[in-house]
Amino acid sequence: MPTTHSALILPALTSPLRRPRFARATATSLGILLLIAVLIICAVVTGLGSEAMHVFLTALAVSSALSLIPVTILWYLDRRERESPWLFVAAFLWGGLIATAFALPANTAVIMAIASWLEHNAALKEMLGPEAAIMIGAPVAAPIVEETLKGAGIVLLFWLVRGEFDNLRDGFIYGALVGAGFNWFESALYVQQNFAQFGTAPYGFQLGMRYAWLGLAGHAMFSGIFGASLGLARMGRRKWWRWLIPLGGYLLAILGHTWNNALPLLMALAAAQSGEAPPTEAQVPPDMGLLAAMTAASVSNLVIFLPFALLLVWIIRRSGRWERDVIREELADEVGRSLTPGEFEAVDQDRTFRTRRIDARNREASTALVIAQNELAFRKRRLKDRGFNPEGDPVVARHRAEIVVLRDRLQA
């Protein structure tokens, strides 16, 4: 029989941040990381001159507006078990500031080492042209460095907010947010670097290419897959499953990133093999509008990353089906206590792109009541999966009490 002892339940599902000393140490460590990241970013961005700095800020403003699209989509996907907006911000900024900042010196060091190595391999350098170091370094350094740094933030959330990160959809949302944050800053940085190198700022090309699939391609997809693997691992009960699935997700993210970055190198090698002479100087990015570049990138990404796109569709569909099943199964015995018969009928009729609402005339109170009922269902399932009896859990009791208050407010 599942145990009902709350002293055992709470440590198993409660965030370690509830311990004041640990919370202070965590906040201090994150503050130091953020300070170092900001210093690195300032050094990189301001080091290219005031005019390039203006280009960066303009590109960052456009990138910020574009980032609202993937963040809104992820917020919609999270509608049945709404996470704190602060967690959305934290995940996004880990990718946008901390992961990006620490990736910059690491990637640069690898590319410089490869450039030095190419000095002793003149034939290969001549074959690939002036961008040889970047062509080789991009698939070597960036996938491991960037997916590890982004993944560290996802793992940190997985550990620190364990009560809110326990299924496939939670993992995908947190991972994709970290990736979207990385894309937000990196897109603006590439526009600035192109301006410093060529004298023109390719806003449309760089930003459009990096916001394919409405911003869910590239970094958001790679990190979303790793995050989903962590959520899937938490849904399993066997120890080997909990270790093997995240490892597979991490390697899959690296594989996708490597494939993406290796394409220019593969095309250059194919051109050399066919006898085509390499370019004598770095190529200026094409002059493309934002929508044209976004459309072209979305189509090409669909072809190049078709298996990943199908996996993304499976993650979203499977996680949505799991959510609906859990809500229906765990709320079945709450009829007459936390749900009315009519509310449970709406639960049973919920669909993929339709969210139940109790009273359309009072949308705010209705949404709060639905989310509270859903949170109750997910909490009960978490406890059962870990061998606990929900009836002995104070959090379950608190959810039920909250539902009573919200229903009184709705009826008033």
Q: What is the mean pLDDT of residues 355-369?
A: 79
Q: Is the pLDDT of residue 354 over 60?
A: yes
At 186-225, the pLDDT tens digits run: 999 999 999 999 999 999 999 999 999 999 999 999 999 9
Residue 273, burial from CB neighbour count under 10 angstroms (0-12, 13-18, 19+): exposed
Confidence category of residue 13, pLDDT binned at 50, 70, 90: low
More confident residue, 336 or 17: 336
CB 205 within 8 A of CB 199: no
Confidence category of residue 82, pLDDT binned at 50, 70, 90: confident
Q: What is the mean pLDDT of residues 317-321?
A: 92
CA dist., res. 81 & res. 173, Å (int): 11
More confident residue, 163 or 39: 39
Confidence category of residue 409, pLDDT binned at 50, 70, 90: confident
Confidence category of residue 14, pLDDT binned at 50, 70, 90: low
Q: Is the pLDDT of residue 2 over 90?
A: no
Q: Is the pLDDT of residue 232 over 70?
A: yes
pLDDT of residue 17: 74
pLDDT of residue 156: 94
Q: What percent of the chain has pLDDT over 70?
A: 96
10 Å Cβ neighbour count for 217? 28
CA dist., res. 397 & res. 409, Å (int): 19
pLDDT of residue 366: 84
At 135-178, the pLDDT tens digits run: 999 999 999 999 999 999 999 999 888 777 778 999 999 999 99
Show the CA angle centred on residue 295, arms to residues 293 and 297, nearest 5°. Answer: 65
Q: What is the mean pLDDT of residues 329-344?
A: 90
For 180-216, give the DSSP string.
Answer: HHHHHHHHHHHHHHHHHHHSS--HHHHHHHHTGGGGT
pLDDT of residue 1: 46
List, in order, residues 6 or more apart from 319 with CB less than 8 Å away: 167, 168, 169, 172, 228, 231
Q: Is the pLDDT of residue 3 over 80?
A: no
pLDDT of residue 385: 81
More confident residue, 12 or 309: 309
pTM value is: 0.92
CA dist., res. 312 & res. 391, Å (int): 36
pLDDT of residue 358: 77
Domain-by-domain residue ranges, the chain?
A: 13-304, 322-411
Mean model confidence pLDDT for the chain: 89
Q: What is the mean pLDDT of residues 42-70?
A: 95
More confident residue, 180 or 287: 180
Name the DSSP letter for residue 238.
S
Q: Mean pLDDT highest for which of 117-121, 149-153, 166-170, 331-335?
A: 149-153
pLDDT of residue 360: 63
